[in-house]
Structure 1
């Protein structure tokens, strides 16, 4: 039996057209969404470009402004840096070094037990043939004075636990060095000396440490010509002090204060020793509130390495002097009183030094009030009254 074919419903043309319109509308909507998304991405990209350009322009302007200020107004940055440094340093020493005490020789805060170590005073040469000097940067207190013929020499005091591998070149004693050693009750380290100095050291019962008789604690540097080749070390000197059971200092300390900025414009100090090879200038470093030492027109570095010679306090002490012999050795009057220029915190003030006896500590006064120094290194420049001092 032959079956009948099923009749399929006919699609109307209108229905098909409606479906086509709906499909087109959907496609159009998708295109619109994609277009909007693209516009958003384009807008975001444009904003990023604008931000980058703004940052670049702003950075360039800041750089130009900074360059202009540092070129034409360098003091502004120095003062800001110095004030920040002083703010940090003005914090109590206990916060920086808990339980620390001011060191007797220079007021610097150190752990308990290190505040009053037995001091050692070493005669160090400053002759051009003996430069650079070794160990000055680690010294706590340094005197500079003429030895003979306009040549200066150092008397460097050490009362700390710093390891100094090389100190020198060590030279001969002078009578005024004996006076400064006596007021500190220090071990006096030298290599020989003028007849007056050796006699005075014996008479005043100085704790003398002459290389002539203690050669095992010294050595001679074969790379240097004599007499600028004699050296020692902190380890050698400590060994000797321990053998004599000398651990504690027996001197009176100066007075110290907290660091503070000055209201006046900072000043450098220039000391016109007679020979250009010995002219000294101390330039003030506002940021660190220190003075940097220049010798013969150049920054003076310690022979140990790249350390500049720096100090917190500078004293220019005027003392009468006269020539003793044909070698042009001097006698410098250390007793009594005289004029002094005292420089710290960037300012210099005229004052007076006083020393009542050989065993008395030299004291410094401004308008009758004893000077209080900044904690840290102290340099004392001994000059004749006729030398030019610029500050």
Structure 2
């Protein structure tokens, strides 16, 4: 009897002890393997571009083939009549000079330190004395197609290396037949006088057989300083620059911050290079004011442009513009640009567009 009573009691005691004890904690099993602490990946330091130490184009501050550094540049007269557009090869010019000719129209002088990089160039038109002065300021070989009587007189008197496609032996009838030729499409669609062209390749090939001096003389230096960023300090914002030459021609330069270039317009449309179909853009825009006077008694309305008295102007780069002074010590001297205190300015490395306008040109600057 005793044994039967103890069994339920023991069971009750065991259940009671279990109910009164603390609950057992749930412990996660230790992982079989511990992971090492993660070290952040180091951020790579960008390798700086090595500084360029090779040959530099004296007209742009950009790299150039060494054989062309001391070569005389080529200065080519370019037609700018509306019916003769588009010009070709203008985007390859290191410097474009634009001046009045007659009747309010303008012509351009494209200067090429290394013409081998250009495709077709033209159309090529006739000379005027002040374009000769611009070419002489670069010790350049001058290419033209015809000229005013005064220009021909000055070519002889000033000993200009001038290659003429109208009254000289330098124009052929088909591509590559001579230094220049009359392009059949231009002759048919634009007129005989707007048809003379050449190519950079032809210039290089033909020059190899010519006897005139093709290198600068010892000691020659084109003095111009270039910076990777030529944005002038202390200037005004110049997002759009409007440059009136006459009631016929106005140039417009609009700054494109993405390309860091001034895009050129004329005759109310983009100024396009016919070789590429693209709008011409330049790093530097210079505007030089000077006296432009009609030649008394000239039946063609030709003018003179004073390039030796110097004067005032503007320089724009990087969307900023400053007032400048310009000078040219003589017909064989280069153009020089300074700030208003007489300190030489530095241009941005790249192509330049130089507008030579009358004193009363009402240049408009928009920020």
TM class, shorter-chain normalised? 0.7 to 0.9
Partners of 2:294 and 2:221 in 1: CA distance: 31
Whether the 8 Å contact between 1:322 and 1:331 is mirrored in structure 2 is yes
Task: Give the TM-score normalised by structure 2.
Answer: 0.76
Q: Equivalences for 1:1-391 in 2 at 5 Å? A: 94-95=50-51, 98-160=52-114, 162-211=116-165, 212-213=167-168, 214-215=170-171, 216-224=178-186, 225-244=191-210, 246-249=213-216, 250-259=220-229, 265-276=237-248, 278-324=249-295, 325-366=298-339, 367-391=341-365
How many pairs align? 298
Give SS of 1:176's match. Answer: helix
- Residue 247 and residue 175 in structure 1: after superposition, are their counterparts in 2 closer, same or farther (change >3 A)? closer
Cα distance per residue 1:337-375 (max 9 Å; x no partner): 101111112111111101111111110110211111011
Greater helix proportion: 1
Unaligned segments of structure 1, at least 5 residues? 1-87
Partners of 1:207 and 1:385 in 2: CA distance: 31
Partners of 2:215 and 2:76 in 1: CA distance: 18
Whether the 8 Å contact between 1:221 and 1:229 is mirrored in structure 2 is yes
* Superposed CA RMSD: 2.0
Whether the 8 Å contact between 1:183 and 1:251 is mirrored in structure 2 is no
Alpha-carbon deviation of 1:284? 0.4
Whether the 8 Å contact between 1:123 and 1:155 is mirrored in structure 2 is yes
Whether the 8 Å contact between 1:136 and 1:302 is mirrored in structure 2 is yes
Unaligned segments of structure 2, at least 5 residues? 1-45, 172-177
- Residue 243 and residue 136 in structure 1: after superposition, are their counterparts in 2 closer, same or farther (change >3 A)? same
Alpha-carbon deviation of 1:236? 1.9
Cα distance per residue 1:143-193 (max 9 Å; x no partner): 001110100000000112543331111100001001111111111100110
Alpha-carbon deviation of 1:116? 3.3
Task: Select the structure of larger CA radius of gyration.
Answer: 1
- Residue 338 and residue 152 in structure 1: after superposition, are their counterparts in 2 closer, same or farther (change >3 A)? same
Alpha-carbon deviation of 1:306? 2.1
Whether the 8 Å contact between 1:318 and 1:383 is mirrored in structure 2 is yes
Whether the 8 Å contact between 1:169 and 1:230 is mirrored in structure 2 is yes
- Residue 218 and residue 111 in structure 1: after superposition, are their counterparts in 2 closer, same or farther (change >3 A)? closer
Cα distance per residue 1:267-319 (max 9 Å; x no partner): 3210123235x221000011222100011221111010222211110110111
Task: Give the TM-score normalised by structure 1.
Answer: 0.72
